[in-house]
Structure 1
Amino acid sequence: MFSNEVSRRTFVVGAAAAAASTLAMTNASASVPASANPTIVARQRFFGPENVDPSTGEVDSSKTILSWFGVTNFAMSIAGNVVLLDAWVPRGEFSNYVPTSPEELAALAPSHILIGHGHFDHAADAAEIASMCGATIVGTDEHCSQIAEQATTELRTLPLDSDRTDFSLSNGVAVHSVRHLHSALRAPRGEQPPLVLVPDFSPAIEHPPTPHDTAHLASHFNDAEGGSLLYQFVVGDFVLTWHDSTGPLFTDAPEILDAMRALPVSTVQIGSIQGYNQYTNGLSDPLDYIQALRPSLFVPAHHDNWLAPLSAPAVAYEERLRQALAGLPTSPELLLLTDPADYVQPSRLTFDIPVK
């Protein structure tokens, strides 16, 4: 076994060094659409103009709508509540590949930023976004403290320090959080073959990084995990479960799988499929989560090319993922998001909320 933190930093530093050795810096920067009301413009872009009131900016409360902006980062409107799930616009190895910015995410005016864990690819922009818009940071005490220390203003926080915590959003949205485990390398179980993908540096070559973005990435390399949380949102008969890492629960914490089985059956599960255990156990860990959460629809995440050579394009996972799902006793429908085509595409993840 090796330390998850040490192995992660080794991968990340190596990835940055590989990119830096081949790329020239540019001064391009993302821009926020100009508008007299930037919140309305941002919400129309992230949730679809047909779902946003053009005079008030309120989002259709009969729907759940998500826009992906890389790794496991999503802007979500659920029953009219606008929140962020994780908070990092991927950049540093490249720039202007993911078509948004922290400023535009703040313009969405999210009420909460829910953090799955504290590594940079999930939380590096949380302090800046929350400072601009006043959103409440939700996560473990470690997440909240780390983000608060990075902020330039005092932040509102909601620490969740129990193995299972229940709270609510407006319009009858119940939220269940469960502590689980970050991905980690373990000995082969023999159920799934190893999964090693060919790295792809083309985003960095085609969208070279600005000095500012490279510095931002470097400044967050050592951000701590601070524990990992899975979140489930329940409104009416609609249940959405989201987790930004997928740990070796079968070997390390089978009781957490039992806790997941005790949750309501998921209508939609959005879950990380990339992890350190893929190098010895393939997609075994994601399959364990899927079987415990029992989704009708599975949406993979943390499978895009956010930091080569640690990452690869989403399409590289497709064949193995379809084969793995087909081997389950009950296989969910698969909705595969691909990068960069599906970044900030709300039509891909729009669901009606059935009324009980």
Structure 2
Amino acid sequence: MPNSKTIAARQRFFGSEAVDPVSGAVREDQVLVSWFGCASFAVAMGGVVFLLDAWVPRGATSGYVPTGPKEVAALEPAAIFIGHGHFDHAADAGTIARESGAVVHGTAEHCATARKQVRGAVLACQELGSSKSAPGDRYDFELAPGLSVTAVRHLHSARTPRHEGADASAPVRPKPCLCDIRAYPPGLGDAGHLARNLLAPEGGVLLYQFRLGDFVLTWHDSSGPLLDKAPHVLDVLRTLPASDVHIGAVQGYNQFTNGLRDPRSYIEALRPKVFVPNHHDNWLPLITARGEAFRTPLHEEFARMPEGERPEVRMLLDRDDYLAPGRLAFDLAPQR
């Protein structure tokens, strides 16, 4: 018998029309992506359900994102892909993996962090290098028959000296919005969870590309200063198939000095048809801002690209686009 909680969770994340009400199977002819805060997404690709990052934002607020780890685990994802190990990306990985049986994918340190969260529980984890792996290292494997995955080691966002010249971008310095702390004040349990995970190590940073038939989905939860510190990684990204959909981080430390130059470098290398910004919502209201603050800077940055190379932007805005079925739905080409 199918788990009624799994059917309900999948219908809430992916839409009632996309999930069989009896079996809980998700339609196989689409790629469905559902955002649940920061850089965390639930994905159904060819009917295979998996997670990109594993943290429901809370601690500075409570209830800002309308779900929790138990409901995310009820999706019964086959896998959890960790971009890096900081709390705002992996703080729920161990719990969700334990409750769902999902296989965690990430560096050795990401696996260690997830296991530390659920001491005594046995978690399956596929290690993709470690914190000592070199930027540009590549890992290829299959998640399911026909669903191939490539992971590429890259860099976390970091502040670099102000870049001058024709390629310089204007700084992006949105004002913090404390209004959401007042509207969604943090509960004691959520604040404690944040405090326990606040100092989790980065453990290395991975970008993932997923390919099913001719469809290509690429995701990363940080955009590092590759142009300045590891330009060869951009060469590696250029060897990957062009992305149909690219979900990439835009908020980062270098925005205060060099604007969105770093995210643009990823977009130029990955050549997407559709770009979806992430890691840009008000998940930590003391230092972050709502996604609306990035709309104009992002379009101004894209104006620096040749018109024929600019992707369509699917802007996600908190809180309207959390768990929004159909917001990110893409048809798969019929398989030959």
Q: TM-score range by the shorter chain?
A: over 0.9
Residue 37 of structure 1 aligns with which residue? 4
Does the 8 A contact of 1:117 with 1:229 survive in 2? yes
Match of residue 180 from structure 1: 154
Query: Could you list the runs of 5+ residues in structure 2 that have no partner in the other structure?
Result: none
Q: Which amino acid aligns with 2:97?
A: A
Which residue does the alignment assign to 1:311?
288
Compared CA separation, residues 337 and 286, structure 1 to 2 (3 A)? same
Q: Which residue of 1 aligns with 2:126?
A: 158
Q: Report the CA distance between 1:58 and its aligned residue.
A: 0.6
Runs of 4+ in structure 1 off by over 4 angstroms are none
Shift of residue 151, structure 1, vs aligned partner? 1.4
Q: Is the deviation greater in 307-316 or in 103-112?
A: 307-316
1:236-247 matches, within 5 Å, as 236-247=213-224
Q: Does 1:353 align with 2:332?
A: yes
1:327 aligned partner: 304
How much is the aligned-residue C-alpha RMSD, in angstroms? 1.1
The C-alpha deviation readout for 1:23-61, integer Å capped at 9, x for no partner, is: xxxxxxxxxxxx961000100111111111111101011
How far did residue 355 of structure 1 move?
A: 3.1
TM-score, normalising length from structure 2?
0.94
Residue 342 (structure 1) aligned with residue 316 (structure 2): no
Residue 168 of structure 1 corresponds to 142
| Distance in 1 separating the partners of 2:138 and 2:334 | 26
Contact 2:180 2:285 in 1 (8 A): no
1-side partners of 2:171 and 2:21: how far apart? Answer: 50
Residue 79 of structure 1 contacts residue 171 of structure 1 at CA under 8 Å; is this kept in 2?
Answer: no
The letter for the 2-side match of 1:142 is E
Amino acid of the residue matched to residue 128 of structure 2?
L
Find the partner of 1:302 among 264, 267, 279. Answer: 279
d(CA) in 1 for partners of 2:300, 2:156: 24
Q: Could you tell me which of 184, 189, 192 is aligned with 1:207?
A: 184
Instruction: Note the alpha carbon deviations across 1:69-117, whole angstroms, 9 max, x for none.
Output: 1111001100111001000000011101100010000100001010000
Quote the Cα distance in structure 2 between the aligned partners of 1:170 and 1:346.
24
Give the superposition deviation at 1:309. Answer: 2.6
- The more displaced of 45-54 and 161-170 is 161-170
| Residues 194 and 279, structure 1, Cα contact 8 Å, conserved in 2 | yes
Residue 84 (1) aligns with residue 51 (2): yes
State the 1:131 CA deviation.
1.1
Mapped contact 1:80–1:171 kept (Cα < 8 A): no
Deviations 1:220-279 (A, max 9, x none): 110000000000001111100000000000010001000000000000100000010011
2: CA distance between counterparts of 1:219 and 1:128?
14
AA paired with 1:187?
P
Please point out which of 179, 196, 208 is paired with 1:219: 196
Is structure 2 residue 93 aligned with structure 1 residue 126? Answer: yes
In structure 1, stretches of 5+ residues that fail to align are 1-34
CA–CA separation in structure 1 for the residues paired with 2:23 and 2:172: 48
- Give the aligned partner of residue 10 of structure 1: none
CA contact (8 A) 1:237 1:355 kept: no
- 2:62 aligned partner, one-letter code: S
- Matched-pair contact (CA < 8 Å) for 2:281–2:291: yes
Q: Percent identity?
A: 51
2:232 matched residue in structure 1 = 255
Aligned to 2:269: 292
Alpha carbons of structure 1 residues 214 and 324: separation in structure 2 relative to 1, 3 Å: same
User: What secondary structure is seen at the aligned counterpart in 1 of 2:330?
Assistant: strand
Q: How does 1:32-111 map to 2 (within 5 A)?
A: 37-111=4-78
> Could you say what secondary structure the match of 1:347 adopts?
coil
